[in-house]
Amino acid sequence: MKTVLRLAWAHVQDHPLRLILTSLATAAAAAMVIWVVSGYDALLTTFDEYSNLALGRYELSIAPINHFSQVAPGAIPSPAEKFVPEYALDYLNADPAVRVADPMWVPRVSVSPYVAPGAAAPPSRRLPDVRVVGTLAEAAPFDLVRGRWINTHDTNKHEAVMSASAAAAYGTDIGGHILLGDAPHQTKIEIVGLVNTPDVEGWSASVARSQMMTPGIGGLFISMPLLEQISAQTRRISFIGVGLKPEADLTSFRFQWSPRLSQLSTPSQFQEAHDIEEALDESASAENLKMQAQTATVVSMLAALFIILSTLNMGVSERVRQLAILRAVALTRFQIASLILVEALLLATIGFVVGCVSGWVIMWSALKSAPELLYDGAVVGTFSILLAAVCAYGGALLASLWPAIRAMRVRPLEAMGSFSQEKEAKLSRLQFISGSALIMIYPIIAHVWVHHDQAPFALYMFTGVLTTAAGFILWSPGMVVLVDRFCSPMLARLLRIPPKLLLSQISASLARTVSTAIALTIGLGLLIAIHVWGHSMLSGFLPGAWAPDALIAFRPDGIDPQTAKKSASWDGVRKALPIIVEQPRLKQDLTNSAKRATVVRQDNIVLVGVNAQSAFDSSNPLFQFEWVDGHAQKAIELLQSGRACIVPDHFLREAKLKVGDSFELVPPEKPEQVVSYTIAAAVKMPGWHWQTKPTGMRTRTHRSAALVFANYHQVEADFQFKNASHIWCNYDPALTSPTKLAGYAQQLLSGAIGKPVAIGDSPVDQPYIQVTTIEEIRDIVRSHSRQWLWVLSRLPIVILIITTVGVLNALLASVQARRWDMGILRSLGFTRSMLVRLVVAEGVLIGLVASILSLGFGILAGWCGAGISRYISFFGGMNLELIIPWPEVLSGMLAVILLSSLAAAWPAFSLGRTKPLELLQQGRSTF
């Protein structure tokens, strides 16, 4: 072992630059892990603190078991709501150990700041999510900061107690007001007290907290009867806050009650602080961050792996003769392998230590100067350090395998011969076929097989990504040869280098080129995959050409439909139709939303009543649909003759219905009068989801399964509408504008109701109109997706920069190995500049290989990832279209080629500066 250690140390001392560069790259990868994982450690710390305070003055809370609905990996689930049965409360109150059992109800109710008439609207800002809790408790669950507790039995008193931090965010205080509910049915509530609810830091923690049924969830407490009034729902029990008498024993109470709770009609469970902490740690938010942490670790480890692999491989290739001598005179095969392992561990140790320190320093600086970069907070905990170690040491150990095997295969006899050369690289048919077979696996899994909800998607994704990566790795030597053969001559001509000098440069050192290119591919391939996945998923959300140009909402009471028809004669308007919009529940849960909720699996639809003939007539339709099943004319006839409707094509798939089938709707105002609608046709409706979101078309609840069209009069009759809620129109932008349309609409409504009408959001009680153009919606969608994709892209971009160090390492080694050749060329009259261009060209070629591999891997992985997301993501279910965002992709590829060229600058420069004789002498002394 002493021999091995001494040799390893001597070798790294001999190549200090390579040691520094490789260690730096490993350190950067480890620091990246610290950066990402610190958010998870911060979350756990927050949960730890929060869970100790979340129960307030109660010892326990009782909530239904598995409150969260089916957790879709990588998404925040929309909870399928469960409630504690009312009779459980009676049982608890009958127990002599119970001091108090306060039921609490947490329905989804919108909270908005109140703007007094005449007051200026507050500046637009991001407000925290405030959950409204209905309660019958006689005392506040948390310490009152100021004011008093609410009267929980008098529904005439519209009062609430608010969390002190939420009140500060909303700019209100005791005596101030807040609005509950959605326009136009909002209720003004007075704040009579402020409480100290436990807060959490960071977005993920806030999301997790909002799904944990404890008193700590409350941002606003109002009386249960008042909440029933506001929400127009009968009260339910989301959880019960239980306080015990001082003499009661908590453990035996739990022991006695646990079996009884699990046998309730909705099985329920106790939550103490440690249970809350455990549940939070296992929450979707935590799981998401944990997944991000693990992903960052794996990706960083891969980057470290390939950089260290490249370095170790170069070390073996350069030292074949040395290794042969060592085999001849001193070392066994195992000791030779240990030598490589020790070198790898040395690189890992330096990388880990430097990475942890620099990661901590960077994070500390960010917290001080740019805390918005760390939106989940940052704490360097055990998990961060552990994953950084996995990244550094895991990568190094895996990287050492192949070089160790190569080193072990060196025969002592090779010490006698001349310097061994790498065999000439050739295209291998076997590698191509095996690679192709592996690459085919993921598309089959993602797009050909049809999966059920319980399929092992994580395994499928892991298998798919692994086989795709393995396939491209097998293809990579062939790619190097092809790039060398076809691109080297062109590049040589471009850079005015004799083509024969450049040809075979990268394929002559195949192992080095392949490992360097793969290192670059990790970052760029991931980046392209993210963008292809994101844009392909987006295709279902971006409103398509079917959508009319603008939607005008008339609030709060709509507009007389006959008056609304006058909009067709506005200047510049090509076509305009009044519509009515309702959001009824589906009587049967056709899409199985209770089992797994997604954007297309919900228990309600948005139903639009419109003049079918004008809307869908093929000569000049308002909606330019692509008819998937059924025909426009037939659909119009069916809509006009009764309860028929047009649905988006994915609704048929999710509900397992077909054209001609019927489904039942529950009118919100008269739930006993269920109505049945027959599906007349199915159309492609990309982007209906976002069409309905900012336009106020989701009148009852914030999620919906589909946008469905039916005849105006039928909807009017079935759902008791008097007025049209909106006008949908197409217009000529050369002749009019959204501002002008808003003005026309304002005049129209004002004239119809005889009152002043505002444009845009207004103080309570004043009617207003709101114009939303389709381009605005598309901009919102694009802006959201750009933001989200940017957040996801940060990791691969950083990895890409880190792996550029690998390119630098490879080129330095390449230049070192060819010093004698370069000396000969200089002696024969080739200029410095030509040699510099030669080295830069090699960098460009490596970048080109990486770009092509990344393009293939990225498109495939992204497209297949989108395919699997249909089954597991909350946002899956919409129709998918492969979209390759070429500007982003080409920018990435160009950036990689540029980075590789820049990496070549230093070795090229150092080569250019060296005199020919020095090159000859240095080259010959290499052993």
Query: What is the contact surface with another protein in residues (CB under 8 A)?
Result: 2-3, 6-7, 10-11, 13-14, 321-322, 325-334, 411-413, 415-416, 925, 927
Which of 326, 852 has the CB closer to another protein?
326
DSSP reduced 3-state for 112: strand
Which of 27, 325 has the CB closer to another protein?
325
Which of 324, 537 has the CB closer to another protein?
324
DSSP reduced 3-state for 561: helix
Q: How far is the CB of 8 from another protein (least distance, A)?
A: 10
Which of 3, 93 has the CB closer to another protein?
3
Q: How far is the CB of 451 from another protein (least distance, A)?
A: 51
Q: How far is the CB of 1 from another protein (least distance, A)?
A: 8
Give the list of residues 6+ apart from residue 910 with CB closer than 8 angstroms, or none.
815
Which of 75, 341 has the CB closer to another protein?
341
Give the list of residues 6+ apart from residue 175 with CB closer than 8 angstroms, or none.
190, 191
Please, what's the b/e burial string for 329-362 (b: 16 or more CB within 10 A of its CB; e: otherwise)?
eebeeebbbbbbbbbbbbbbbbbbebbbebbbee
Enter the tokens of residue 494: 């471009």
Q: How far is the CB of 11 from another protein (least distance, A)?
A: 6
Range list of H helices, 416-509: 429-443, 457-494, 499-502, 505-508
Q: How far is the CB of 411 from another protein (least distance, A)?
A: 8
Separation in Å, CA 73 to CA 120, 289, 456, 678: 43, 11, 11, 35
Whether the CB-CB separation of 468 and 439 falls below 8 Å is answered with yes
Q: Of all residues in the chain, what percent are helix, strand and coil, respectively (each to 5)?
A: 55, 15, 30
DSSP reduced 3-state for 887: helix
Q: How far is the CB of 45 from another protein (least distance, A)?
A: 47
Neighbours of 838 (CB within 10 A): 24
Q: Phi and psi of 660, rounded to 5°? A: 105, -20
Alpha-carbon torsion angle 763, 764, 766, 768, nearest 10? 70
Q: How far is the CB of 416 from another protein (least distance, A)?
A: 7
Q: How far is the CB of 339 from another protein (least distance, A)?
A: 12
Q: How far is the CB of 410 from another protein (least distance, A)?
A: 12
Which of 235, 327 has the CB closer to another protein?
327
Q: How far is the CB of 353 from another protein (least distance, A)?
A: 24
Q: Which residues lie across from 803 on neighbouring strands?
A: none
Q: Which residues lie across from 679 on neighbouring strands?
A: 645
Enter the tokens of residue 556: 């709060």
Q: Which residues lie across from 678 on neighbouring strands?
A: 644, 662
Which of 322, 563 has the CB closer to another protein?
322
556 preceded by a cis bond (ω within 30 of 0) = yes
Q: How far is the CB of 347 from another protein (least distance, A)?
A: 17
Which of 161, 325 has the CB closer to another protein?
325
DSSP reduced 3-state for 587: coil
Phi-psi region of 658 (alpha: psi -120 to 50; beta: other; left: phi over 0): beta
Q: How far apart are CA 807 and CA 905, in angstroms?
A: 11
Which of 167, 331 has the CB closer to another protein?
331
Q: How far apart are CA 868 and CA 75, in angstroms?
A: 13
Whether the CB-CB separation of 564 and 556 falls below 8 Å is answered with no
Which of 333, 447 has the CB closer to another protein?
333
Separation in Å, CA 220 to CA 181, 235, 684: 13, 16, 42
Which of 321, 601 has the CB closer to another protein?
321
Q: How does DSSP assign 599-663, residue by residue? A: TTB-SB-EEEEE-HHHHH-TTS-SS-PEEEES-HHHHHHHHHHSSEEEEEHHHHHHHT--TT-EE
Enter the tokens of residue 497: 């280098």
Whether the CB-CB separation of 110 and 131 falls below 8 Å is answered with no
Residue appearing with tokens 């659909």: 635
Q: How far is the CB of 815 from another protein (least distance, A)?
A: 18
Q: How far is the CB of 479 from another protein (least distance, A)?
A: 32
Which of 99, 333 has the CB closer to another protein?
333
Which of 416, 717 has the CB closer to another protein?
416
Closest CA to 586 of 473, 500, 704, 507: 704
Neighbours of 565 (CB within 10 A): 17
CA 851 to chain centre: 24
Separation in Å, CA 229 to CA 132, 186, 567: 13, 11, 37
Which of 336, 808 has the CB closer to another protein?
336
Which of 274, 411 has the CB closer to another protein?
411
Alpha-carbon torsion angle 410, 416, 419, 420, nearest 10? -40
CA 569 to chain centre: 45
Which of 234, 925 has the CB closer to another protein?
925
Which of 11, 82 has the CB closer to another protein?
11
Which of 6, 188 has the CB closer to another protein?
6
Q: How far is the CB of 415 from another protein (least distance, A)?
A: 6
Cα dihedral sign, 309-310-315-316 = positive
Closest CA to 714 of 585, 607, 559: 607
